[in-house]
Structure 1
Amino acid sequence: MKIKLAILDKDKSYLNRIVTVFEVKYADKFEVYSFTDLSVAIQTLSEVKIDVLIANDAFDVDVAKLPKRCGFAYFVDSPDIDMLNNQRTICKFQKADLIYKQIISIYSENAGNITGLKISDDSCKLIAFTSPCGGTGNSTMAAACALHFAGQGKKTLYLNLEKYGSSDSFFSAEGQFDMSDIIFALKSKKANLSLKLESSVKQDNSGVYFYSQTKVALDMLELSADDILHLISELKLTGSYDYIVLDMEFELDKGYLDIYRKINSIIVVGDGSEISNLKIFRGYNAIVTKEQESDSSIANRIVLMYNKFSNKSSRALDDIELKSIGGAPRYEHATTRQVLSQLSNLSVFDDIASV
């Protein structure tokens, strides 16, 4: 089903132009309705179940009276206006594809309240690396996975979401923006978040895209589960990447479970030690229990990968339904870059892509 989009503007010339563009470029995405009269537009919202209303800022729209299912934003003339009357804004004088992406973002934020088209970009795969135990090299594995796909010519983003993690430990490039700028854009609910994401991303010589670490570690503590969900959705909607590799905390609250549901493959990293196996066993069973309580599907997308596995001190985890896809041994006397290079050659990452 198509998204039902209503555009309200007194400028008939502009209205005709943008409607024509949407009907030509996005005929498979939008069913467009145009209005110059507020009362007529409001009456139509309920009659045809409009999904998103974009209104020129010349109109005084009582958002509280809009149907719950209807997303809303103001059309404004300047890209410097981020919010108006506590509502999102979209600059009307920019490329149609940027307006399109912002409308899609508004729609996706209201997806829980509406029926119809589900927004997803199956061409972009989300792969998350996480672990309930420390010291297993979870971040190194995630970075190696990103390096592996980039080496195959796939456009890959490595996104470090750990509270005290750092993409700069693995990748480097010039640029003045970092993850703090992304968090600020998320928190201030800037309508041009997609532009901020595009302008802040860096590319390592390996081809991997990444966002540099925050200016101070405390900035990452401001990033809530809802913020992460919004960020992931926005990144997918840009259509810029084949793979987004997430390096993230192992959490089991509702917010993180909602994040897990959006991910194609969840890789739990362990080292085969007694403590590691116990924590993974307990963590996985906790997810299974949470899954049963919420009637969701997460466990079937989780696989176990070993890192720093030693024939002397490690053993495979038994008596658990969690599938293992192999891993890597411990590399002695090697730098981070050397370990990363070795790990990136693992064929197991190709298995992850097909999970």
Structure 2
Amino acid sequence: MSLLPIIVRVWGIFMKIKVSVCSDDVLYCERLVNYFNSHYYDTFQWNVYTQSVYLQQIFEANTADLILVGREMKSELQKLDESLRDGQLWAYLAEDDGEQEEGIWYLAKYRRADRIFRDLLDLYAQKEHVRYENAAIVSGKTTFIAFVSAAGGLGASTIACAAAKSFSRMEKTLYLNLEDTGSCEISFKGEEKPGLDELVYALKSRRNTLGLKIESSVSQDEAGTYYFKECANPMDLQSLLPEEIEELLKAIEAAKIYDKVIIDLGNGLQDKEITVMSLANRVVMVTDNSEIAALKLRRCLAFIQTVEETKKVDIFSKIHIYFNKVLKNTQIPEQISQIRVCGAFPVIENGSFTGIIEKISGMELLQGMK
């Protein structure tokens, strides 16, 4: 009997995608499963059958999320009762992109592994049963830290990037840029993945594949920080409703992949930013020692207090204030509006944006944000 069950560990609280493969191409099946167990071991659970006699057993068992059938077994598959075939999500493993029947799914065998991975996720997206626990973010494994400022140019994004790089040295850290026009291009250089565009699509399409897209769309830079590439069109990010932002963050938490999530909000105070701050474990408010920054910070804090009263959310108690671009020997207040000032980052002269990030990422002051 040619039966090769492969069992691997569960990914977070998501049920792993159970794939049953039935094909007489033994060598291909072994290579496929070995590769996916090495590179995507936390997403799939495989069962491989190499004789067509098992087709009926596979379809009747109703235990697979996705069934892949070698096209060489087409005649044997067609002998199965139509109700069996229609009751399962299945696709042919095809040698090439030759003649295909309308209404039948096909998975091309010989293409790049990352493309096969995405094709499998797209096939699985036809099922509508992926769910995650509706638990509060603050109660989970992952710590969410939101970075915001009361005005532009104060360095909230710089410090957020530096914190992400710093924390990545010891923990699995995700940098999530939710600024309307934010970009990761300069700060993080790594493999090209679809990024936020895929997440926005998953949220808007309501196909219950958000958890899968969180894994398949994330990039990792050379220093080890995970990040989502920005939306090609900023309007797509702006289109997200507060409840969709909440769904995104809770899906990231439910995956239980990351120890830290750094959320870069820039200087916005709209519904999106309020939603994130109310869900985060901590809120880092960045300011500087200028008169205008002090004025805007006071107005920002007053606004947040009003929001708390009207929306019955908790933000104020989670705020930690940090000064940026502070000259040596400059005095900073111990508290502002009864919020403790946790420290000050110095002025860094004549540095590029990436150079400043690298210098700040090595500063001990960041460790107090954890």
TM-score class, shorter-chain normalisation, is 0.5 to 0.7
Residue 158 (str. 1) matches residue 172 (str. 2): no
SS in 2 for 1:167: coil
Q: Deviations over 1:83-121 (max 9, x none)?
A: 7xxxx812xxxxxxxxxxx3325xx2xxxxxxxx76765
Shift in alpha-carbon separation, 1:132–1:306, aligned structure 2, 3 A: same
Identity among equivalent positions (%) equals 26
Shift in alpha-carbon separation, 1:326–1:184, aligned structure 2, 3 A: same
Shift in alpha-carbon separation, 1:121–1:168, aligned structure 2, 3 A: farther
SS in 1 for 2:131: helix
- Offset of 1:306 from its aligned partner? 1.1
Residue 89 (str. 1) matches residue 128 (str. 2): yes
Q: Pick the aligned partner of 1:170 from 187, 190, 193.
A: 187
Which residue is 2:132 aligned to?
A: 104
Q: Deviations over 1:143-173 (max 9, x none)?
A: 001111112x200000000000101220011
Which residue is 1:238 aligned to?
A: 255
Q: Is the 8 A contact 1:76 1:89 kept in 2?
A: no
TM-score relative to the length of structure 1: 0.66
Q: Is the 8 A contact 1:130 1:250 kept in 2?
A: yes
Query: Aligned partners of 2:136 and 2:334: how far apart in 1?
Result: 38
Query: Aligned partners of 1:258 and 1:345: how far apart in 2?
Result: 30
Alignment of 1:36-115 (within 5 A): 77=89, 80=123, 82=125, 89-90=128-129, 102-105=130-133, 108=134
Q: Is the 8 A contact 1:121 1:237 kept in 2?
A: no
Residue 139 (str. 1) matches residue 151 (str. 2): no
TM-score relative to the length of structure 2: 0.63
Q: Is the 8 A contact 1:158 1:209 kept in 2?
A: yes
- Offset of 1:296 from its aligned partner? 3.1
Shift in alpha-carbon separation, 1:199–1:315, aligned structure 2, 3 A: same
Query: Aligned partners of 1:276 and 1:80: how far apart in 2?
Result: 51
- Offset of 1:252 from its aligned partner? 4.5
Letter of the 2:132 counterpart: I
Which residue is 2:142 aligned to?
A: 124
SS in 2 for 1:169: coil
- Offset of 1:76 from its aligned partner? 6.6
Q: Deviations over 1:7-52 (max 9, x none)?
A: xxxx99548x99xxxxxxxxxxxxxxxxxxxxxxxxxxxxxxxxxx
Q: Pick the aligned partner of 1:320 from 321, 337, 344.
A: 337
Q: Pick the aligned partner of 1:203 from 214, 220, 225.
A: 220
Q: Is the 8 A contact 2:144 2:262 kept in 1?
A: yes
Which residue is 1:183 aligned to?
A: 200
- Offset of 1:249 from its aligned partner? 4.3
Equivalent pairs, count? 262
Query: Aligned partners of 2:272 and 2:283: how far apart in 1?
Result: 16
Query: Aligned partners of 1:126 and 1:326: how far apart in 2?
Result: 20
Residue 284 (str. 1) matches residue 301 (str. 2): yes
Structure 1: gaps (5+ residues)? 1-10, 19-57, 59-74, 91-101, 109-116
Query: Aligned partners of 2:260 and 2:178: how far apart in 1?
Result: 16
Which residue is 1:349 aligned to?
A: 366
Which residue is 1:338 aligned to?
A: 355
Query: Aligned partners of 2:136 and 2:335: how far apart in 1?
Result: 39
Letter of the 1:104 counterpart: Y
Query: Aligned partners of 2:88 and 2:268: how far apart in 1?
Result: 40
- Offset of 1:193 from its aligned partner? 1.4
Shift in alpha-carbon separation, 1:191–1:237, aligned structure 2, 3 A: same
Query: Aligned partners of 1:258 and 1:243: how far apart in 2?
Result: 18
Query: Aligned partners of 1:244 and 1:209: how far apart in 2?
Result: 9
SS in 1 for 2:132: helix
Structure 2: gaps (5+ residues)? 1-58, 66-82, 91-121
- Larger radius of gyration between Structure 1 and Structure 2: 2
Query: Aligned partners of 1:318 and 1:325: how far apart in 2?
Result: 9
